Structure 1
């Protein structure tokens, strides 16, 4: 006599399956959007759209995962593990961008920061090196200056008790230490010419390019260092330019105190 075995087919939640697939698919989309921009295969606008698409896919995967969790919990279908994994993966992917964007939306809608709003350092070599579609970097007007003062009251020049030549060398060393690409470095020449350093700072993760110009002028007590940092693209920098200026100025002051 042949015994028959009873097979019970367990139902797998399709929502759980697709939630995990979407959350997982978002990872290569985000990575490729970053790599293609850094390699110059996509311009800023297309890379931004691709990155936003990756975040949207991750968000959709996380939402479907949350829905699938309750479906599998109530129905007993297989897939609760995938649903939880989708939510967790989406949370990891979205956490850092969400914090940066949320913080940046509370800051002024400007992308050009200077320690001197009356007579900001001017770009020269960088104006020739920038792509045509990049921001034009006009001098800040009254509205921009007011927004910067309100949003970034700590952005100030560095007054050093050092010769302009010593200040120039110290600043240039810090710029090179940060790995910024220096386009021009003209040392000061007494009262005839200010020291000027123009460089391109690339953000670590996204690879966004930011134009930087640093001016060194002689003063009665030594030298004054002014810095201007501007994003090449976009109307809002999410606070990155102010952070770049504050970081260099803090390091410059600390370096001079050691001497």
Structure 2
């Protein structure tokens, strides 16, 4: 007589939940990045997907425990559900860790925000008010996110800033290049994060008495918090700019020295003896 071994229903449901969680996590992200859904809808969908993924992990663990004691079939189903559930839960764990490690903020700037205006105008009714840090908190958490002064003229410095922005692949929406040593240069660029949130970076290059100065602002549009992205973005770009300026000055050691006009001898001045 052949004994039929049954398949655990827990294992069946574990794989089903894991299989459903994958598209429920990916689709809202893709739709949010392409602009098919707004921020509020995205938050609802992604939180529901995260809850379902967590449920898939719990059911999978329960199935594995029951299989260990019952001897039923379904190990492959339970392990598949666990793998899919963990893959879907992992991004939530990553962003949760970032949220715990960074303060709740959505806007970082190295100068007054009136000098670094945003050009992206979303639906202001749906956009939450910006979360800001005090100057002391910003200096402690992001010490490299600070104004930079360099011994270069504004045209030279703007060229270096513009090259870094394009190297990062940011979508430049407005670019005002200085055509004279007394003019300012400005860049407004759009950045789309992995979950589909839209950020805006503003860079201002202006002349000073001893060279030129760079200020930067990075702000999240519609996101509840930035998970530290804005402060890190400013710190990384300005640190990279430090390296670019250092290399530029090393390769052009006389670039910051004033150019002296050639001395034209006066024929009326007698240089010989009388």
Q: Shorter-normalised TM-score: what interval?
A: 0.7 to 0.9
Of residues 163, 166, 169, the one that matches 2:156 is 166
Q: Take 1:254 and 1:96, find their aligned partners in 2: how far apart are those partners?
A: 33
* Cα distance per residue 1:147-185 (max 9 Å; x no partner): 423432332122222111111122122212222222211
Equivalent residue, structure 2, for 1:229: 218
The residue number in structure 1 matching 2:138 is 148
Separation in structure 1 between the aligned mates of residue 140 and residue 114 of structure 2, nearest angstrom: 18
Deviations 1:180-230 (A, max 9, x none): 222211123658643211111111x22211011111122233211111000
- Listed as ranges, the matches of 1:11-22 within 5 Å are 11-22=6-17
Instruction: Please say if 1:46 is aligned against 2:41.
Output: yes
Give the secondary-structure state (helix, strand or coil) at the position aligned to 1:196. Answer: strand
Structure 2 counterparts to residues 115-130 of structure 1, below 5 A: 115-116=110-111, 118=112, 121-126=115-120, 129-130=121-122
Q: Is the Cα–Cα contact under 8 Å of residues 217 and 223 in structure 1 kept in the other structure?
A: yes
Shift of 1:7: 3.8
Is the contact between residue 73 and residue 80 of structure 1 (CA under 8 Å) also seen in structure 2? Answer: no
Q: Deviations over 1:82-114 (max 9, x none)?
A: 222222222222223312321222311111011
Asked if the contact 2:153/2:181 (under 8 Å) is kept, the reply is no
Tell me the equivalent position of 2:264: none
Runs of 5+ unmatched residues, structure 2: 249-274
1:137/1:163 CA distance change after superposition, 3 Å: farther
Distance 1:79 1:119, change over 3 A: closer
- Match in the other structure for 2:68: 73
RMSD: 2.3
Secondary structure (helix, strand or coil) at the match of 2:72 reads coil
Counterparts of 1:209 and 1:178, CA distance in 2: 15
Paired with 1:124 and 1:188, the residues of 2 have a C-alpha distance of 19
Query: Which structure has the larger Rg?
Result: 2
Report the equivalent of 1:87.
82
Give the distance between the partners of 1:124 and 1:153, measured in 2 at CA: 23
1:134 to 112, 127, 137: 127
Deviation, structure 1 residue 236: 1.5
Contact 2:149 2:212 in 1 (8 A): yes
Number of aligned residue pairs: 247
The alignment's TM-score, normalised by the length of structure 1, stands at 0.86
Q: Which residue of 2 aligns with 1:113?
A: 108
Q: 1:10 aligns with which of 5, 13, 21?
A: 5
Q: State the Cα distance separating 1:258 from its structure 2 match.
A: 2.1
Unmatched tracts of structure 1, length 5 or more: 1-5
State the partner residue of 1:198. Answer: 188
